[in-house]
């Protein structure tokens, strides 16, 4: 049963048990309607209740829904940003961010008959930013491994770039920008030219702690399947000046074709209900947002997630000194709180570690297939007791 195992999956990953129990009830009989949540029209009053809140409850802004209001509260998102719920996962955002930013820029240069598309600056720190970069610039070579972050003095941004893009937490490699803004490895917000849209992939650290300098970003996006809910819905927090009519930009020329599903304005104008949305993931993520708010929000989560990561890295560093394991990310300040990557030392040891882990109730610890090794993901629903239990196994190994 759930209580007997410790699930360290990198995503889809564990969700709060109380939320899943409520979702299980809703799956069969939502709000005593006799209908399951996956059997409700996305335009009917019952589903409207899920996304807009209880009947009569007002959140003030048109198209503003309860899940949106809750997310705004949790992350302090100002009204100059739209909050969208998109489909197609994080991967679809690799192109969406570029297409919308380029369309907005083209409209700003409406009368320029010699318009040339801008340079796009990517900070490539791991597998996911590498994929996003490849999608934007087809001719790239794939770096073989990522084990640290650049330092402040290693960045050089293009003055008039179309965008600056980074991935806050590299899920596969276990690299994350430190929260401490005085660290030399912190993301150098002040070095990004002021007029250049800053885009961040927050897929695997979303809602694990507050977002530093949220208002310095033009777009922040995150797939749901780590801390928010089941896969199938992606949150996009986008500055409202980027909600542009991409068809108009296409008519001017000099921008790529934008499929309608990639246009942020369409989603915004339709309250994220342009077409049939993934209703069940939306339902569960609405429950998770309520759960997070009722538990006091992101400051408490930052403290507990920081402590979980500290415990595990401390145990791994000690085991490393004993010659048993090796942390993949050498620079401590670049280590992810959410995805802890390490390797065992010695022939046949990895299998022994994983077999022993499995026997002790630890699940989904195998590293991503592209890099191997071991990865323990410590998302919000992974308890500190699960982390302590894993530390005991590392010590005993
Ligand atoms: N970015 C990051 C940081 C990810 O971890 C992932 C996948 N988990 C993606 C992008 C791609 O997301 P998806 O699988 O939802 O397309």
Does any ligand 1 atom lie closer than 6 A to the CB of residue 205?
no
75-106: pLDDT as tens digits: 999 999 999 999 999 999 999 999 999 999 99
Does any ligand 1 atom lie closer than 6 A to the CB of residue 204?
yes
Whether 143 has a pLDDT exceeding 70, the answer reads no
What is the structure's pLDDT at 389?
A: 98
CA of 346 to the centre of ligand 1 (A): 31
What is the structure's pLDDT at 53?
A: 62
Tell me, yes or no, if 128 is annotated catalytic. Answer: yes
> Which of 121, 128, 265, 337 is the catalytic position?
128
ipTM field: 0.99
| Angle in degrees, 0-180, between the axes of helices 279-294 and 66-75, rounded to the nearest 10 | 40
Mind listing the domains of the chain with CATH numbers?
A: 45-294 (3.40.640.10), 298-396 (3.90.1150.10)
Cα angle, residue 288 at apex, residues 287 and 290 outer, rounded to 5°: 65
CA of 214 to the centre of ligand 1 (A): 20
Token output for 337? 């709180």
Does any ligand 1 atom lie closer than 6 A to the CB of residue 206?
no
Residue predicted with more confidence, 27 or 67:
27
What is the structure's pLDDT at 212?
A: 97
> Which of 201, 308, 324, 393 is the catalytic position?
201
CA of 223 to the centre of ligand 1 (A): 6
The DSSP line for 214-278 is GGG-SEEEEESTTTTSSTT-EEEEEEGGG---HHHHHHHSSS----GGG-HHHHHHTTT-SS---
Does any ligand 1 atom lie closer than 6 A to the CB of residue 90?
yes
Measured by CA distance, the residue closest to atom 8 of ligand 1 is 11
Average pLDDT over residues 131-140: 78
Is the preceding omega at residue 12 within 30 degrees of 0, hence cis? Answer: yes
Is pTM beyond 0.90? Reply is yes
CB 298 within 8 A of CB 74: yes
Tell me, yes or no, if 226 is annotated catalytic. Answer: yes
State the average pLDDT for the chain: 93
249-306: pLDDT as tens digits: 999 999 999 999 999 999 999 989 999 999 999 999 999 999 999 988 999 999 999 9
């Amino acid at each position: 049963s759930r209580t007997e195992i410790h699930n360290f999956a990198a995503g889809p990953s564990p969700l709060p048990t109380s939320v899943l129990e409520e979702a299980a009830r809703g799956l069969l009989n939502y709000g005593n309607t006799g209908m399951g949540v996956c059997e409700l029209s996305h335009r009917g009053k019952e589903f409207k209740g899920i996304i807009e809140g209880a009947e009569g409850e007002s959140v003030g802004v048109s198209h503003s829904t309860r899940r949106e209001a809750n997310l705004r509260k949790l992350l302090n998102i100002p009204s100059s940003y739209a909050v969208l719920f998109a489909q197609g996962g994080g991967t679809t955002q690799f192109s969406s961010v570029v297409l919308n930013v380029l369309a907005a820029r083209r409209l700003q240069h409406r009368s320029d008959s010699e318009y040339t598309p801008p340079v796009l600056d990517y900070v490539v720190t791991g597998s996911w930013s590498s994929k996003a970069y490849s999608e934007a610039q087809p001719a790239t070579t794939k770096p073989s491994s990522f084990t640290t972050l650049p330092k402040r003095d290693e960045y050089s941004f293009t003055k008039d770039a179309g965008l600056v893009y980074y991935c806050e937490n590299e899920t596969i490699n276990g690299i994350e920008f430190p929260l401490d803004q005085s660290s030399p490895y912190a993301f150098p917000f002040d070095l990004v030219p002021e007029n250049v849209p800053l885009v961040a992939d927050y897929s695997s650290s979303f809602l694990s702690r507050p977002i530093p300098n949220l208002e310095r970003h033009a777009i922040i996006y995150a797939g749901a399947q780590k801390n928010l809910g089941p896969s199938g819905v992606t949150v996009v927090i986008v500055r409202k000046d980027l909600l542009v009519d991409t068809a108009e930009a296409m008519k001017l020329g000099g921008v790529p074709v934008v499929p309608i599903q990639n246009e942020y304005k369409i989603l915004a104008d339709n309250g994220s209900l342009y077409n049939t949305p993934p209703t069940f993931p939306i339902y569960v993520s609405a429950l998770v947002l309520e759960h997070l708010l009722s538990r006091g929000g992101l400051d408490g989560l930052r403290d507990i997630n920081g402590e979980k990561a500290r415990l595990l890295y401390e145990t791994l560093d000690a085991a490393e000194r004993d010659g048993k394991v090796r942390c993949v990310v050498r620079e401590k300040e670049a280590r992810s709180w959410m995805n802890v990557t390490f390797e065992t030392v010695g022939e046949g040891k990895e299998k022994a570690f994983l077999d022993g882990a499995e026997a002790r109730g630890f699940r989904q610890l195998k590293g991503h297939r592209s890099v191997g090794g071991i990865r323990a993901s410590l998302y919000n629903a992974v308890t500190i007791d699960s982390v302590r239990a894993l530390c005991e196994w590392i010590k005993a190994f």
